[in-house]
Structure 1
Amino acid sequence: MSEPQLSVVVPVFNERDNVAPLVGEIVAALRGQVDFEIVYVDDNSKDDTLAVLESLKLTHPELRVLHHVQQSGQSTAVRNGIKAARAPWIATLDGDGQNDPADIPKMLAARATAPTQVKLFAGWRVNRQDSGSKRWASKWANAIRARMLRDDTPDTGCGIKLFERAAFLDLPYFDHMHRFLPALMQRAGWKTISVPVNHRHRTAGVSKYNNLNRALVGIRDLRGVAWLIARSRRTDVQER
């Protein structure tokens, strides 16, 4: 099998009813457009998500399945999927089906016309389909983050992103880092672009987070990322 050009990484925890529809949508969006693989990372689900994924491998040759032997969180699942990926570019999706895989070709098109210094294309949910309280909390968090980090990104919480694998693996790793990718990429010297994308209602399962949990964790992480940016040093290197 030839090496894929794109790896679609999807972290999941207790999403058994969302797995099959989302895999089907990814295949429909990308098959015939680009050589790709799908890397699902099951974060030790307590339902039969893993069994559903393993059964889908029989009919979807692009699908690979990784399994955490203990629950480790979304950032770790994303990173482990990226480490296992075989393609030089990564697309990520949340496993709840709210991201639309049909937006991945749009992001690939944006990459085709962007300067090589752009290493991250971040989804921007211009028409959020979450509850009013969740949208308000996200708006508040984005405003604080933008003021502190100056990352010029309207929506860092969107799960659909396209980025270079090598650039991601060069970033400092910490839990919840996936929420700060634009700022971390910019800290590393790369440019980022926000791409308007579709957003959908969750049709099955339940959210794994609440607004209070997001806020408490986010404040601590935000201070840490601000410290990383303040302490960063970059210089061009020449081999002589």
Structure 2
Amino acid sequence: MAESPAPQLSVVVPVFNEQDNVAPLVNEITAALRGVADFEIVYVDDKSRDATLDVLKRLKAEVPELRVLRHANQSGQSTAVRSGVRAARGAWIATLDGDGQNDPADIPKLLAASAAATPDTKLFAGWRVNRQDSGSKRWASKWANAIRARMLRDDTPDTGCGIKLFEREAFLDLPYFDHMHRYLPALMQRAGWKTVSVPVNHRHRASGVSKYNNLNRALVGISDLRGVAWLIRRSKRTAIEEIS
């Protein structure tokens, strides 16, 4: 049997212990994209300890666009995103957090922004203008964004938003490290590409618990910021001409 043509878009969703959020989010993704774009959904289960994988297996029989990957070892969100992007068949990737706080209805908005942008714009980052998190999380995020912007000068108001649209090839050319998903605008700009922030919806978590707290985010973020700043300082780019 001939392999089906590659889709225009791959929606990559990393998950860890999100059994109650999987089915509602998959249904929302299909509702948002059927008739809008040729797409596939790539879920990457980061070795969940609940029934997340069982739910995904059942959904595969009902949702033809759904593909399911599973890590052999728990490896974190950035690794799960990269695993999904590497397995994806679409030239463009949309990412969503698996907790349901990102709204799949915003993906067509990102696609529209992409269609209107110049070819050298490779990342369209969601910007949560009305965050539905606790006051402490909003406060921590505000300060983290301010420090990041000062150090990296990436002109991005919200790098922590999980909903993004980017070119697969450009992403796979970026340096990989744990937590890199939080620095995609700066890394894309380092590679010579333009990025755009797009206002998007944000929702309360309906089920399950957050996998992060403010302290572990801050401790990891300090080290990562220094590393990304070093990468930017050490970067060199030049045009290439082939001589005939």
Question: Which residue does the alignment assign to 1:64?
Answer: 67
Asked if residue 122 in structure 1 is aligned to residue 125 in structure 2, the reply is yes
SS of alignment partner, residue 157 of structure 1:
coil
SS of alignment partner, residue 38 of structure 1:
strand
Question: Which residue does the alignment assign to 1:7?
Answer: 10
Q: Using the TM superposition, give the Cα deviation of residue 3 of structure 1 relative to its aligned residue in structure 2, in angstroms.
A: 1.3
Q: Could you tell me which of 47, 56, 67 is aligned with 2:50?
A: 47
List runs of 5+ in structure 1 lacking aligned partners. Answer: none
**In 2, distance between residues paired with 1:105 and 1:4?**
15
SS of alignment partner, residue 55 of structure 2:
helix
Q: Could you tell me which of 83, 86, 89 is aligned with 2:86?
A: 83
Q: Which amino acid aligns with 1:154?
A: P
- Which runs of structure 2 are paired with 1:223-234 in the superposition (5 Å)? 223-234=226-237
Aligned alpha-carbon RMSD (Å)? 0.3
User: Which 4+ residue blocks in structure 1 deviate beyond 2 angstroms?
Assistant: none
SS of alignment partner, residue 16 of structure 1:
coil
**In 2, distance between residues paired with 1:139 and 1:69?**
35
**In 2, distance between residues paired with 1:201 and 1:105?**
21
Q: Which amino acid aligns with 1:36?
A: F
Superposed CA offset, 1:7-56 (max 9, x none): 00000000000000000000000011110000000000000100100100
SS of alignment partner, residue 162 of structure 2:
coil
**In 1, distance between residues paired with 2:8 and 2:63?**
17
Asked if residue 33 in structure 1 is aligned to residue 36 in structure 2, the reply is yes
User: TM-score, structure 2 length as denominator?
Assistant: 0.98
Question: Which residue does the alignment assign to 1:105?
Answer: 108
Question: Which residue does the alignment assign to 2:153?
Answer: 150
User: TM-score, structure 1 length as denominator?
Assistant: 1.00
List runs of 5+ in structure 2 lacking aligned partners. Answer: none
SS of alignment partner, residue 198 of structure 2:
strand
Superposed CA offset, 1:54-79 (max 9, x none): 10000000000000111000000000
- Identity of paired residues, percent? 82
Q: Using the TM superposition, give the Cα deviation of residue 2 of structure 1 relative to its aligned residue in structure 2, in angstroms.
A: 2.2
**In 2, distance between residues paired with 1:110 and 1:175?**
28
Superposed CA offset, 1:74-93 (max 9, x none): 00000000000000000000
